[in-house]
Amino acid sequence: MSPLKATIRFIVNGERHTVAVEPIKRLLDVLREDLHLTGTKEGCGEGECGSCSVRMNGELVNSCLVPVLQAEGAEIQTVEGLASSGALHPLQQAFLACGGAQCGICTPGMLMAATQLLSLNPNPSQREIREGLAGNLCRCTGFTRIIESVIAAAAPPAGPARQASHAR
């Protein structure tokens, strides 16, 4: 006997999607398995590590704790929706230049949390960045260069926007 499925309609990174899945299926699994957007990661399955963070209706959420039924009609942004037509988002550029990503597994969630933070607080202090990212655990960096990356991305541009280039 197969469990009952529900039809869920939502928008992910600007594209409309319709899926027929168990209503309690985690949004994380729907993104990864049904939409093949594997950028969002599972690190703990209990809402502690933030690797599964996505933005839903303008809020940061841990997608491992969202039953997809509750994403009906939602607008969702994942890491795949950050860069636009070949150009890295300023946060991605900053992470690249400052060393904000090492093994990279926490990075998609971290970028989502940083995007959310900067959308509400365009020029956060170090303390505010630490609070805004406190729900995203990184085991590699000790957070230092992640914070530097967010500060770099938040700073007003000094001159013409730079492409992600090799030299610093």
Partner 1 sequence: MIAPPTLSAVLELMASQPGQWTPIAGGTELMVAHAAGRLAAGRLVSLWGLSELRFIQSTPDTISIGAGTTFRDLRADRGIASSLPLVARASSWIGSIANQSRATIGGNLVNGSPAADSSPALLVYDAEVELISTRGSRRIPYAEFHTGYKLSVLEPDELLFAVHMPLRFQAHRQYLRKVGTRRAMAISKVALGATAMVVDGSITELRLAAASLAAFPTRLFGTEAALLGKRIAPRAIESAREALVAEARPIDDIRSTAEYRKRVGANLLEEFLLSLCSGETTE
Partner 2 sequence: MRTGEKTRIVGAAVPRKEGVDKLLGRARYVDDITRDGMIYGATVRSTIPRGLIRSVTYDRRIDWSEFTIVTAADIPGKNHIQMIFADQPCLADGVVNHSDEAIVLLAHPSKHKLREAVSGVKIEYEPLPGVFTIEQSERRQIIVWGADNLIKSFLLEKGDVDSAWSGAAHIIEGEYRTGAQEHLYIENNGMIAEWSQTHGITVWGSLQCPYYVHKSLLAVLDLPGEKVRVIQTETGGAFGGKEDYPSTLAAHAALLAIKSRQPVKMVYDRMEDMAATTKRHPSRIRHRTALDQHGRLLAMAIDIATDAGAYATLSSTVLSRATLHASGPYACPNVRIRSHAWATNTVPYGAFRGFGAPQAIFAVERHMDEIAAALSLDPVQLRRINFLHKGDTTATEQLMREPIILDHLLDRALSESGYYGRREQFARENRLSPVKRGMGIAAFYHGSGFTGSGERTLNSVAGLDVTREGKVRVLVASTEFGQGTNTILTQIAAETIGIDYDDVLMAPPDTSMVPNSGPTVASRTSMVVGRLIERAGAQLVARLRQDTELGETFTRQEFFSACERYRAAHGEVVSLCRYQAPPEVFWDDERYRGEAYPAFAWSIQIAQVAVDLVTYAAEVEQFWTVQEVGRVLNPVLAGGQIEGGVAQGIGYALYEKVILENGHMANNQMTNYIMPSAEDVPPIHVFFEEIPFSHGAFGAKGIGELPHDGPAPAILNAIRDATGVGFHAIPLLPEDLFALLAAPEPVAEAAAR
Among 5, 9, 139, 162, binds partner 2 (CB under 8 A): 139
Using CB under 8 A as the binding rule, the residues of this chain from 78 to 117 that contact partner 2 are: 78-80, 82-83, 88, 92, 95-99, 101-108, 111
49: DSSP letter: S
CA atoms within 13 A on the CB side of 161: 10
Asked whether position 103 contacts partner 1 by CB under 8 A, the answer is no
As to burial, measured by CB atoms within 10 angstroms (0-12 exposed, 13-18 middle, 19+ buried), residue 142 is: exposed
Residues 127-156 that bind partner 1 (CB under 8 A): 131-132, 134-136
**Per-residue contact flags (x/-) with partner 1 for residues 1 to 40, judged by CB under 8 A:** --x------------------xxx-x--------------
Question: Does the footprint of partner 2 cover residue 42 (CB under 8 A)?
Answer: yes
Q: How many residues bind partner 1 (CB under 8 A)?
A: 30
Structure tokens at 160: 């013409």
**Which span (39-47, 66-74, 115-123, 154-162) binds partner 2, by CB under 8 A?**
39-47
Neighbours of 143 (CB within 10 A): 17
- Does 43 bind partner 1 (CB under 8 A)? Our answer is no
| CA distance readout (Å), 137 to 51, 103, 108, 157 | 8, 13, 12, 29
